[in-house]
Amino acid sequence: MKKVLQSIALLMLVINATLVLAQTSSDSVLISGRVTDFNGLPIDSCTVMWQNEQFEPIAQALTDINGFYSVRISKGKYNSVTAIYWPSYAQNAMTNGLPESEHRLEFWAWNFIADRDTTLDIRYHRMEAYGMYAFYIPGATPTFQIYVRPMSLTRTYEWMVKQQSDTNNTKSVKLSPSINEIGIQVEIDGEEVAVLYKQEIEEYVSVDKTFNAYLFTVNKPKNQTNRPYWVIKVELTDLQNGDCGEGLYYLEKPDYIR
């Protein structure tokens, strides 16, 4: 496995070097940062990918032994950014015999806007902030609404075991804690904002299945930046089992010019 990862890292260096030569500062930006767990420990050989709406990778980088990565990507808007260390990813970890306590999910950033050189530091653990979306209601209270449908790995494994023994499966599947069992911290452009209201809702998956999700109402930040978009970060913690994770959403301001 180590030799395979080293070969992948070498290939990525060659690809990135080729892209740097092919692109200029007028049509590309440099994205760099560090990937760690929630204790600040670096994640070596973690893949960071920029994807289109079909979740196909457009650009990617691989972290070094200290968790650092750097990649030049084309300017524009990307559907998502994913960070994942494949050997510990849940499905792979089951196959290679990794202890359950070391199984992980992945990090997600949504609607990523690459309009300038950016530092993107990433943390992830056992909860993914999937399907995150943020918006505001014109003419209403000056707040942001944040939708997210997380997945706790511990609760997902518990549900999988229950699936095998329970033939009368319920339509509503809870892969994340109830609203009173979730810890929430929201930052907008690096400023922590108050969570004013939170509610648990059901997301339609199929005619016979729904997943639980959340809708948060938060304050707008007091400080303004010169960026034409807000960077919204949501950190979630399952207060029952300790699973945690974070996600980002890039929300264009009204005067954003494409």
| pLDDT number for residue 3 | 42
Q: Identify the weakest region by mean pLDDT among 126-135, 149-158, 165-174.
A: 165-174
- What's the fold here for domain 129-258? Immunoglobulin-like (2.60.40)
Per-residue model confidence as pLDDT tens digits over 89-130: 998 998 888 999 999 999 999 999 999 999 999 999 999 999
| pLDDT number for residue 8 | 44
Say if domain 1-124 classifies as CATH 3.40.1670.10: no
- Percentage of the chain beyond pLDDT 90 is 79
| pLDDT number for residue 21 | 46
Class of residue 170 by CB neighbours under 10 A (exposed 0-12, middle 13-18, buried 19+): exposed
Q: Do domains 1-124 and 129-258 have the same CATH topology?
A: yes
Q: What are phi and psi of 69, to 5 degrees?
A: -145, 160
Burial 212-225 (b: 16+ CB within 10 A, else e): bbbebbbbebeeee
Structural domain spans, the chain = 1-124, 129-258
Per-residue model confidence as pLDDT tens digits over 11-63: 554 455 454 445 566 899 999 999 999 999 999 999 999 999 999 999 999 99
Q: pTM for this one?
A: 0.87
Class of residue 161 by CB neighbours under 10 A (exposed 0-12, middle 13-18, buried 19+): exposed
- Percentage of the chain beyond pLDDT 70 is 87
Torsion of CA 167, 168, 172, 177, to 10 degrees: -70
